[in-house]
Chains A and B, each alone.
Chain A
Amino acid sequence: MSGFAPAGDPVIPDYGQASDCVINNGFFCTDWFASQWSTVFWPPLVDHIYMVLIAVVVGFLIAFTAALIAYRKKWLAGPIGVAATFLYTLPPLALFQLLVPFTGLTLLTVEIALVCFTLVIIFQAVLAGLAAVPDDVKRSAVGMGLDTKQLMLKVELPLALPSIISGLRIATVLTVSVATIAAFVVDSGLGSPILKAVSSPFNTQFIAAGALAVLLAFVLDGLLVLIGRILTPWTRVRI
């Protein structure tokens, strides 16, 4: 029958012998983890970091701009807030699937969804930070001769920084976790080994990838705390 490739004579490779831990799906096979680190874990970890960074940076730029506008034109704060909250309430998986027909099985799809989830957090954090700047501080700054732009750059934004940083921290930690769901769309990030190991099931891969995601969230959160401290030295000199 022409539709069928005539059975050839394949060389069956010798793939070696797996350890007992791997064969019996032990709780955590260190040997396997060490040998597969460079192919199974490291590349997805790097991809994951990129995915999160792009989402948080883009999300910050959009939400920050929106918050500045809403701060100036108070009547816009409500509608923007509602729109951002709406995006936030969409289930991530549904949003990914919703976007696929338009943007395909691509990183763009993933980033659009991830950015959507950061918006409301960062927007509210920036707005709340700016709103919390005491009126008398602003009045005295104006009294010292600062114009609107100077007031924003030298007084309002610095005082709002702790709130902005805490918003960024929440958005980042959230994005690290939501980005694992991206594996349903692109075979990338730490969600990819998790997704595959859940269906297999293979404990070592599942646990290792999950632990890496947790670790990544802690590290990025720690970095933001550090950046926050460096940017707001005055918060520590206060006696």
Chain B
Amino acid sequence: MRTINRRTALSALGTLSAGAAAVALAGCTPPSAATVGKRKKDVRTITVGSKGFAESWIMGELYAQGLRALGYQVDLKTNVGSSDIISAALTSGQIDVYPEYTGVILVSFMGEESLMDSAEATYDLAGKWAKGNSIRMLKATPFENKNAIAVRREFADEHSLAKISDLQGIGDFLYSTYPDNVTGAQGYEGIVESYGLDNMELKTLSIGLNYQAIERGEIQAADVFTTDPQLLRSDLVVLDDDKKLFGFQNVVPLIRDDAYAAMDDDAPAFLDTLHSLLTLEAIQALNEASAINRIDAAQVAKVFLKDNGLM
């Protein structure tokens, strides 16, 4: 639950109305008659969904626009909501495909208490959930987006910090997270307990204010997301989660089996190619265009697909 809360709240770094642009763009990518003509299977509309935050809106746009370019009829439902809402929409058939984080599948859908200790194990376990729910899971992105602790570079140098357990015994310091993320195994209290960080004092800040606070030196450590574009600009060091407390959060497309069956091979092939291109560097750039430049998610996705020859 923690992860979803955080993610939902993180809707932060949002951009412009992705939906607005979706409407505007709907007419811009007419499926060419030739591509549609060669579809051997029934042409059915594929409904793509996305969750309630900017990174998901961009992923949804990437799926939708890429599939449209292949000649599929695509209906995009942006900003459907939290993991619980969107997974219900998927299993009930209101949407056919959406991007989900492997760790979220474990924690929110399977009720796993402890997270796996590798990205592969997380992926494999999530795959079992998918199989049991008539959902096809395609390849995961190289990037993952999860909670992490970032510290100022000078603070890291001063105490030679590389991993979270290095924070032990360095004297009292201030750590910030948002108010909903204090309790729970992966919240502030969980971190203090797992890593034995009695010297880590808490300051709660609304999401989005942590970067300003750490840049001004008001706090020494902050709860961040690994794909936050601010990490590209701030002089921060992300500490290694050496006890694997935060789990693994690569993104996979979840596709209903019936929608998968209605697709030709080119659709999963496109999604696999797209996912292979989504490195940490790439997703941070996309998130930056969205969160810093405030470019509409649809535009952000379109430029990326074009520059990478996917449309």
A binds B: yes
A contact set with B: CB distance below 8 Å: 1, 3-13, 15-18, 22-23, 32, 36, 38-44, 47, 101, 104-105, 183-184, 186-188, 192-193, 195-197, 199-202, 204-205, 209
Shortest beta-carbon distance from B168 to chain A in Å: 32
In the bound complex, CA of A7 to CA of B119 (Å): 14
With A5-B139, A43-B24, A105-B89 already in contact, the answer to whether A196 and B79 are too (CB < 8 A) is yes
Which B199-248 residues have C-beta < 8 A from chain A?
208
In the assembly, what is the distance between CA of A224 and CA of B214, in Å? 53
Q: Which of B22, B53, B289 contacts A199 (CB 8 A)?
A: B53
Contact across chains for B23 and A43 when beta carbons are under 8 A apart: yes
Of the residues B52, B277, B288, B307, contact of A8 by C-beta under 8 Å: B277
Contact present for B21 and A1 (CB under 8 Å)? no
Question: A5, B52: Cβ atoms under 8 Å?
Answer: no
CA distance A18 to B15 in the complex (A): 13
- What's the nearest-Cβ distance from chain B to residue A17, in Å? 8
**Which one of B32-40, B152-160, B177-185, B293-301 contacts A?**
B293-301
List A contacts of B18 (CB < 8 A): 187, 196
- Residues of B88-137 at the interface with A, using a CB-CB cut-off of 8 Å, are 89, 92, 94, 119-120, 123-124, 127
In the bound complex, residues from chain A placing their C-beta under 8 Å from that of B277 are 8-10
The answer to whether A205 touches B282 (Cβ under 8 A) is no
Please list 28 pairs of residues, one from A and one from B, whose beta carbons are closer than 8 Å in the complex, sorted by A's number. A3-B120, A3-B123, A3-B124, A3-B139, A4-B123, A4-B140, A4-B142, A6-B276, A7-B279, A8-B273, A8-B279, A10-B278, A10-B308, A12-B285, A13-B304, A17-B293, A22-B292, A40-B17, A43-B21, A44-B19, A44-B23, A104-B94, A105-B77, A188-B23, A196-B14, A196-B79, A200-B11, A201-B208
Report chain B residues within 8 Å CB of A18: 292-294
Decide: B307 and A11 in contact? CB cutoff 8 A: yes
Q: Point out the residue from B294, B300, B308 that lies within 8 Å of A32, measured CB to CB.
A: B294
Smallest CB separation, B242 vs chain A (Å): 21
Asked if A22 and B14 make an inter-chain contact with CB atoms under 8 angstroms apart, the answer reads no
Bound complex: CA of A18 vs CA of B293, how far in Å? Answer: 5
B20 on the A face (CB < 8 A): yes
**A205–B20 CB distance below 8 A:** no
* Partner pick for B294 among A5, A188, A202, CB 8 A cutoff: A202
* Complex-state Cα separation, A43 to B272, whole angstroms: 32
Decide: B293 and A15 in contact? CB cutoff 8 A: yes
Write out the residue numbers on chain A whose beta carbons fall within 8 Å of the beta carbon of B279: 7-8, 10
Q: How far is the CA of A11 from the CA of B156 in the complex (A)?
A: 32
